Structure 1
Amino acid sequence: MHARVVAVAAAVVLGVAALLSPTSDARAGDVGETTVIAHRGASAYAPENTLASIDKAAQLGFSWVENDVQRTKDGELVVIHDDSLKRTTNVEQVFPGRAPWKVKDFTAAEIKRLDAGSWYSPAYTGTRVPTLKDYMRRIEHNHEKLLLEIKNPELYPGIEQQTLKLLGNEGWLDQKHLRRLIVQSFSADSIRTVHNLRPAITTAYLGSPTVTKLHEYARFTDLVNPSYAMLSMGYVSAVHSFDGPHGRPLRVFAWTVNDAATARRVAGYGVDGIITNKPDMVRTALRSN
């Protein structure tokens, strides 16, 4: 292993690209070998993390969408990015005395009362924060694929087990659906837990471990998903040189790319996927590259 790490480090220094293909299943929204993932749904065109945003992604021709999962006070899994309800709902008006309006301090019934669309546009007034159960059923209806982020797991002990139980109840842990599912987190411990509980699930770590640490992450994660600002061709090559827990080369999905020039540059590094609020723009940029 030591010799391999040294060789990988040399590849980073020299910027040598040993680019390997992602998994072979065809995906709507792919451009060449680069998968385009709609971040929080098509969130440039509809309120993020709502059913409307994944419907919009489907309308644009993209099957891969990304979301964020957190938990209510009474134990319901909901799809929302921030640990506070303040930015993307009207919680301040509905519950003015309950600052700082943390998701974990509200019941599912209370959150269901909130408007999660009017902050984005009057056209989306009345849009709700979806439960993960409702979200998965819409994903299934739309024939989409999901990059599911377990958000802030330190706030929600046991959320990994609960998420997997819900996915199983919704039929998403059979072989057919596992090809359409990736579970990711900024927490290495959370992803390690998911891998240990359900080794067949494809997992992703959000971040950019040092090259000398990649062999440790390769034991429990199939992808390393960094911010595009942290990437270089050498780093992508280094990630690709390790095999993950399923015996396939580690892959790289870069986030969050929202302009054409950056999309073309990052694709040139050899990434396997690009996560974006504007999937149609990225698709156009890569096709014209």
Structure 2
Amino acid sequence: MQLRPAAAVATALLGLSALLTGPAHAHATPHSHAPVVIGHRGSPVSAPENTLASVDAAARLGITWVENDVQRTKDGALVVIHDTTLSRTTDAERRYPNRSPWRVSDFTLAEIERLDAGSWFDRRFAGQRVPTLGRYLDRVERNRQNLLLEVKAPELYPGIERRITSELRDRGWLDRRHVAHRLALQSFNAASLRTLHRLRPDLMLGFLGAPKAAELRSYAAYADQINPNHKAVTPEYLRAVHALRGPHGRPLRLSAWTVDDTGAARSLARMGVDAIITNKPAEIRRALGCGASGAAAPPVRVPAAA
């Protein structure tokens, strides 16, 4: 399946390189660039979230960055799912009626792979499965997309950071090209991010939340991005973020979530945020006047997103 012309892919990757390897003094300023649009859990208004169908839908829309969540099963497998329970987005309650509260960590991979992860969204997606991280990485690679991977509730899964980096390595996602331009990991758990930084100092990492401006310097020791709820973003806060350098010597970046209102997206773009994470990537991209790569046309400077 041809998702977009090769030229568009090349343009997107050049834009990603501009942010990740560009001049250290290049701070974001209002009107200096269009924020990259990141598909939250793929394209969840088009297909059931966190499924291969959702990331494929994002690819068909030309969304070059997708965000998804990773957790660990009872037998140690990594799966892509948002909630720490299976109830909302699968038929676990019907298939396993006596297994309340249906925690991901209480089920083996084989049990989870029997679940229907699509019918709750629409009957057209009946039979969609909860993907393993490995299958998900392969699909993102096939689609020539880039990945923002959230380590979901790592406090529930001691040691998951090492398991994630092992899987990323085995699937070819820890080579220089992926690490520099196509991959970032984020979490609400600062201790987990510090562990990831120790394991792989080259990884791009983002802290989910809005630390006080006075505390940002401590996060900059291991995080390249501060990724807050969009309601917490002000011009002053954004300036405080951009004023600091992260562990790789470049200014911190900011990705705002979850932005589904076009007016809010335009306001954030005017402020100069680096990326917008949204459930409606096609709609937000249109509102910002972006092309298939997520860059404004004609681009002034296309930053990479988390």
What is the TM-score with the length of structure 2 in the denominator?
0.84
Cα distance in 2 for residues equivalent to 1:123 and 1:116 = 12
Q: Is the 8 A contact 1:22 1:272 kept in 2?
A: no
Q: Specify the SS of the correspondent of 1:287.
A: coil
Aligned to 1:209: 211
The alignment covers a number of residue pairs equal to 264
Percent identical among aligned pairs is 54
Q: Shift in Å at residue 225 of structure 1?
A: 0.1
Task: Show structure 1 runs of 5+ residues with no match.
Answer: 1-20, 26-30
1:133 paired with 2:134, answer: yes
Within 5 Å, which residues of 2 pair with 1:249-268? Answer: 249-268=251-270
Aligned to 2:102: 101
**Matched letter for residue 185 of structure 1:** S
Aligned to 2:224: 222
Within 5 Å, which residues of 2 pair with 1:1-289? Answer: 22-23=19-20, 32-178=33-179, 179-287=181-289
**Matched letter for residue 190 of structure 2:** A
Cα distance in 2 for residues equivalent to 1:135 and 1:167 = 11
Q: Shift in Å at residue 196 of structure 1?
A: 1.1
**Matched letter for residue 167 of structure 2:** L
**Matched letter for residue 278 of structure 2:** T
Q: Shift in Å at residue 24 of structure 1?
A: 6.2
Task: Show structure 2 runs of 5+ residues with no match.
Answer: 1-17, 23-31, 291-295, 297-306
Q: Is the 8 A contact 1:148 1:183 kept in 2?
A: yes
**Matched letter for residue 232 of structure 2:** M
Aligned to 2:28: none
Q: Which aligned runs of 4 or more in structure 1 are off by greater than 6 angstroms?
A: none
Q: Shift in Å at residue 32 of structure 1?
A: 4.0
Q: Is the 8 A contact 1:22 1:251 kept in 2?
A: no
Q: Deviations over 1:15-60 (max 9, x none)?
A: xxxxxx84368xxxxx943111000001111100000010001000
Q: Is the 8 A contact 1:36 1:276 kept in 2?
A: yes
Q: Deviations over 1:129-164 (max 9, x none)?
A: 000000001011111100000000000000000000
Using CA pairs under 8 Å that are at least 6 residues apart, name the structure with larger relative contact order, 1 or 2: 2
Q: Shift in Å at residue 68 of structure 1?
A: 0.3
Q: Is the 8 A contact 2:38 2:275 kept in 1?
A: yes
Q: Is the 8 A contact 2:118 2:126 kept in 1?
A: yes
Cα distance in 2 for residues equivalent to 1:270 and 1:167 = 31
Cα distance in 2 for residues equivalent to 1:24 and 1:38 = 23
Q: Is the 8 A contact 2:259 2:278 kept in 1?
A: yes
